[in-house]
Amino acid sequence: MTIHLSIVLFLPLAAGLVGAALGARLVRWVVLAGTVLVLAYALVILVDFDAGSAGLQYVTDDEWISELGIRYELGVDGLNLFMIVLTAVAWVPCTLVACFREHERPRLFFFNVALAETAVLGAFMAQDLALFIVFFDLMLVPFYFLIGGWGQGDRVRATTKFVIYTLAGSLLMLAGAVALGVLSTPDGGQISFSLAELEQRSVSEGTQQWIVLLFALAFFVKAPLFPLHGWVPDTYRSTPIVVLALLSGVLSKVGVYGFLRIVLPVMPEGSQHWQELFIIVAVFSILYGSVLAFSQDNVRLVVAYSSIAQLGFIVLGIFALDDKGAQGAVFQMLNHGLVVVPLFLIIGVIALRANGSESVARLGGMAFRAPVLAALFLLVTFATLAMPGSANFVGELLVLFGAFEDKLVYGLVASVGVVLAGVYMIRVFQRTMHNREGPPVESRDVGGLDLAAIAPLVAVIVALGVYPHFVVERTEAATVQKIEQARAFGGEQEARAPGGQRTSLPPPGDEP
Amino acid sequence: MILPLADVPAPEIDYRELSPIMATVGGSIVVLMVGLLRSPFARRTLVPALTAVTLLAAIGLTIWIWEPGDREPIIVRALAMDTLTLGVSILFFVSGLVTIVLSLRSDAPREAGHGEYYSLLLGTITGMVVLAGAENLITLFVGLELLSIPLYVLCATELRRRTSLESGLKYLIIGSVGSATLLYGLALIYGAAGSTQFSGIETAIGERVGLSDPLLLTGIALAATGLAFKASVAPFHQWTPDVYQGAPTPITAFMAVATKAAAFAVFLRLFDSTLGLSQLQWAPALAALATATIVIGNVGAIAQRSLKRLLAWSGVAQAGYLLAGVVVASELGLRATAFYLAVYLLMNAAAFAVVVARERVSEHGDDLASLELLGRTQPWLAWPMTIAMLSLAGFPATAGFIGKFYLIDASVAGDYTWLGIVIVVGSVVSLVYYLRVVAVMWMGRYEVELPGLPRRRVKPVAGWSPEADARAQPEVAAVAIVFAAATIAFGLAPDPLFDAARDVGTALSNLR
């Protein structure tokens, strides 16, 4: 029982409240200080983390709403360790960049930024299903205000669409979660939403199937994956770039993380039942996202659709239900976040030098006067397209290994996505950095502030490319355990089925 | 011939348990008399003050006689002052207090006479308490009429406004149809069971009367219809938007909360407890009504510009959610319904307070446009409204989320999982209009594709200066802030409400 996670969790919110109380001039620095402290704390946890253990560490477990069986239960293991670190890492540069931009009503803006960090951290830390949903939904509130209040274009429409899409999924998940909690309660027992408890209890296979479907709906919308990505274009166009970096880099991971944390261990039969469907969705997302990324003119949308493809890879890795695939997925979750955040920050820098234009057709020729910017962009581009030597390469390779193991055909189709990623990312890089200078472009190199925000992220990307083992060794134990849990049922069934046939006669009248 | 008096046994009356009703009746008479005094001080200050004192005294007495458990009804078993009655009574009293505060600067009491206005308010509250506690078909009908008749008058108290008169007349006609239907239903139930006592009916069902006795079933259907009129359950909800819009806004706030609570108290007592044995017969029908109500209410609200109409439609939808707690006929359902009624009071009081405040000073009246950019000009009104809307929509960290969670919990536990999913789907649809209100306040002009309303002349409360107007009604803003704060507080720490709900749950001992 420790208080460390609670401190990390509520530090940003506290900073936001204090900042908002202190006034419009100070609020940004207080919130920035909060994010830096969170990062420091998260790094301490990362160093202190016991890599060999698959169990939860730094557990906080308290009663919250006893009547409904909801507990305030937080914990860290290999699955969410790097998600927490990613959140802490991503918030610092984004807040930093935001600090030096002018915002109307800064108190509300920075309070929302801080609240968003608390909500995302909470979703990653929660070890109670209901608590997870609380934070999952709470995330929407700050983003609703951030997009609607400080976005561009048709922002109100965009933010409404975003919230309705996401909440439609997550409210259905809420219904599924309540059903899971109630139906798994043994006679006379106390209802519980604690994940550890739910893993012990069980519900019938038929129930699991539809509950898994509700959860998948929520997570696929959030990710976003192919048929449920309708909110993406509007939202990505309207969101302020700093917020978009967080939205795309960190928020999208909450959904896929939910599969590993909740769906696989708690509802193994249901997960196996839909495995094929989810893999097909993932493969479709890879192809669809890659093709659309190639045909977009807006740089943001290129990244948006490439994210759909990347998240398709992650879901493929998870539902290959294979140790390697899941490890690759967990690794890719981190990598994608680390790549997308600087990518959007760079797009913001580029837009500043092109009179606000983010159209591929109108950009170009920036590299000549901005070599540092071009170099940073190139490194990030290589990481995104999973160049050998980058961490993303390792991640995607693991995912594909996992897929080849069991689902060879899907794996082969998915690997086309790797090639396509190269095509669309290099296209963006060429069209913005090289070629003839576009009409609105006034190139100058990256400034000290933006460099301070982007360069450390790029350094982390490079470092992970050199030494991916740092992540893999810490995530391995927990990931393998979750996959084991998901496969345990199927293994038992397979083992049981032939044995049963041999020893006992089939019951008469059972066959039509 | 004169009856020998000694042969008529005087009923024994437990004055202790009757005390809250005696307080409101007595207060009603005193207030009416004081209202006859000449001095403006007596009429404008003393009358509301005495009304408030009466209600506070009633709250105090209610807490004094609060005792969990299935209580023996008092006055020849006609009235049960159990925790269910007392629990909803507190809601009536609190919403009465809110109405007093909101009415202080209204036209309605001035035009109709202060004494009459507040006396009628206390009269209708008395009717509600009697209705909620009725243990006898006769008491039930007396309570219903005592509730309805003063309310018809109160709706028409803005004598110089045509819509207010229209609202009163409409409510009178439709309310009478509802009462007549209910009366007919009660008569048939009496005919089938041979007793007006709830306990007598309960023992008769299953013993002397078959569960599918046509007389009984017709009676139940008609009684449900009559109550559905009062609770504005679709398809008997058509009066709601018109009456809500036309009535003086403080009265609308009162109707929205208190009338609904009273009607649901009867639903719970009559259906879940007395007719509980035939639950299998009536539950599917009520579940269908709940579904229709949720769909119709939420879809109806989407097209509204008038905030009062919007809240009316949203109230219809919320009645559908509440009905889910009745359908399952379990102790959990009873608790969840009671809990949600309390939460509903908090959210609606905050929302209506803001509507009252804006309606008095804005040239747009209660149109959505009256809230435009409220976040910048009057954040102390915008925040409560935002919280109320998010809570009505069921966002976490608000009491509305917990309430919905509880209702879904009860539905699933009562084998009505699909009804839980209907609640969730309804909530998703409701986002469209709740978020629109939030967007208008914080994100500027929101184009709603509806014809614009003609501007109206207002009689500002503090001259013609918008700044002075904004600060002219601190008591209304205080109501909004207090109830919004309570919405958040009970969203984070709902245990006190759960304790009360658990007490209420003990009131009907024969539930599952």
Does B402 sit within 8 Å of A66, measured CB to CB?
Answer: no
Collapse the DSSP code of A76 into the 3-class scheme (helix H, G, I; strand E, B; otherwise coil) and give the result. strand
Q: Tell me: do B259 and B329 sit in the same domain.
A: no
Structure tokens at A203: 């519900």
Rg (CA), chain A: 23
The alpha-helical segments, DSSP class H, found in A151-204 are 155-183, 195-200
Q: Tell me: do B250 and B330 sit in the same domain.
A: no
Structure tokens at B51: 């009304």
Q: Which residues of A touch B406 (CB under 8 A)?
A: 67-68
pLDDT of residue A78: 87
CB B338 within 8 A of CB B264: no
From CA A477, how far away is CA A484, in angstroms rounded? 11
From CA A386, how far away is CA A391, in angstroms rounded? 7
pLDDT tier, A404 (very low <50, low <70, confident <90, very high otherwise): confident
Q: Tell me: do B367 and B300 sit in the same domain.
A: yes
CB B366 within 8 A of CB B329: no
Collapse the DSSP code of A63 into the 3-class scheme (helix H, G, I; strand E, B; otherwise coil) and give the result. strand
Tell me if B59 is assigned to some domain: yes
Backbone phi, psi, residue A423, to 5°: -65, -50
Provide mean pLDDT across the span A458-477: 89
Q: Which residues of A touch B405 (CB under 8 A)?
A: 68, 130, 174, 178
Q: Tell me: do B235 and B297 sit in the same domain.
A: no
pLDDT of residue A497: 38
From CA B332, how far away is CA B213, in angstroms rounded? 28
Half-sphere exposure of residue A298: CA atoms within 13 angstroms, side-chain side? 15
Single out the residue of A171, A212, A161 nearest to residue B294, CA to CA: A171
Q: Tell me: do B26 and B103 sit in the same domain.
A: yes
Collapse the DSSP code of A191 into the 3-class scheme (helix H, G, I; strand E, B; otherwise coil) and give the result. coil
Note whether B177 contacts A: Cβ–Cβ < 8 A: no
Which of B241, B274, B307 is where one domain is finished?
B274
Collapse the DSSP code of A298 into the 3-class scheme (helix H, G, I; strand E, B; otherwise coil) and give the result. strand
CB B365 within 8 A of CB B420: no
CB B400 within 8 A of CB B392: yes
Domain count, chain B: 2
Residue of A160, A175, A191 lying closest to B424 (CB–CB):
A175
Q: Which residues of A touch B502 (CB under 8 A)?
A: 67
From CA B170, how far away is CA B151, in angstroms rounded? 12
| Number of neighbours of residue B1 by Cβ within 10 angstroms | 3
From CA A305, how far away is CA A288, in angstroms rounded? 8
Residue A323 sits in which domain range?
A: 274-488
Q: Which residues of A touch B494 (CB under 8 A)?
A: 65, 67
Chain B CA closest to residue A180? B412
pLDDT of residue A509: 41
Q: Tell me: do B242 and B319 sit in the same domain.
A: no
Instruction: Answer whether residue A507 shows pLDDT above 70.
Output: no
Q: Which residues of B touch A134 (CB under 8 A)?
A: 396-397, 401
pLDDT tier, A501 (very low <50, low <70, confident <90, very high otherwise): very low
Identify the DSSP state of A65.
E
Q: Tell me: do B247 and B394 sit in the same domain.
A: no
Tell me if B138 is assigned to some domain: yes
Tell me if B240 is assigned to some domain: yes
pLDDT of residue B455: 56
Cis peptide bond upstream of A224, omega within 30? yes
CB A256 within 8 A of CB A223: yes
CB B399 within 8 A of CB B347: yes
Residue of A156, A167, A171 lying closest to B439 (CB–CB):
A156
Rg (CA), chain B: 22
Instruction: Answer whether residue A415 shows pLDDT above 90.
Output: no
Q: Is the dihedral of CA A146, A70, A261, A11 positive or negative?
A: positive
Identify the DSSP state of B272.
I
Between these two residues, A439 and A111, which has the higher pLDDT value? A111
Does A133 sit within 8 Å of B396, measured CB to CB?
Answer: yes
Chain B CA closest to residue A146? B443
Structure tokens at B53: 């004192």
From CA B444, how far away is CA B431, in angstroms rounded? 18
Structure tokens at B452: 């614009």
Q: Please enumerate in sequence order all residues whose Cβ is within 8 A of that of A117, keeping only pairs 6 or more positions apart, or say none.
A: A12, A13, A34, A35, A38, A87, A91
Q: Tell me: do B179 and B299 sit in the same domain.
A: no
Distance of CA A509 to the CA centre of its chain: 50
Name which of B294, B395, B419 to mutate to probe chain A: the one with the most chain A Cβ atoms within 10 A of its Cβ: B395
Q: Tell me: do B249 and B296 sit in the same domain.
A: no
Q: Tell me: do B295 and B259 sit in the same domain.
A: no
Which of B217, B240, B274 is where one domain is finished?
B274
Instruction: Answer whether residue A122 shows pLDDT above 60.
Output: yes
CB B329 within 8 A of CB B453: no
Q: Which residues of B touch A213 (CB under 8 A)?
A: none
Beta bridge partners of A73: A61
Residue B484 sits in which domain range?
A: 291-447+469-505
**What averages of pLDDT result for each successive group of 10 residues across chain B (512 residues)?**
64 86 94 90 90 95 88 82 92 95 88 90 95 92 93 90 90 93 93 88 83 87 92 89 91 93 91 83 90 92 89 93 91 92 94 90 81 85 93 91 92 90 91 90 65 54 58 85 93 90 85 70
CB A381 within 8 A of CB A426: yes
Does A141 sit within 8 Å of B390, measured CB to CB?
Answer: yes
Identify the DSSP state of B448.
-
CB B157 within 8 A of CB B117: yes
Single out the residue of B300, B191, B307, B216 nearest to residue B256, CA to CA: B307
Tell me if B454 is assigned to some domain: no
Backbone phi, psi, residue A364, to 5°: 140, 155
Cα torsion through A395, A396, A402, A403, rounded to 10: 160
Domain count, chain A: 1
Does A149 sit within 8 Å of B424, measured CB to CB?
Answer: no
Q: Tell me: do B250 and B315 sit in the same domain.
A: no
Instruction: Answer whether residue A408 shows pLDDT above 50.
Output: yes
Which of B242, B274, B306 is where one domain is finished?
B274
Structure tokens at A274: 């839909």
Does A138 sit within 8 Å of B397, measured CB to CB?
Answer: yes
Single out the residue of B465, B307, B311, B484 nearest to residue B384, CA to CA: B484
Q: Tell me: do B315 and B370 sit in the same domain.
A: yes
Tell me if A361 is assigned to some domain: yes
pLDDT of residue B388: 95
Collapse the DSSP code of B414 into the 3-class scheme (helix H, G, I; strand E, B; otherwise coil) and give the result. coil
Q: Which residues of A touch B428 (CB under 8 A)?
A: 164, 167-168, 171
Q: Please enumerate in sequence order all residues whose Cβ is within 8 A of that of A40, keeping only pairs 6 or more positions apart, or say none.
A: none
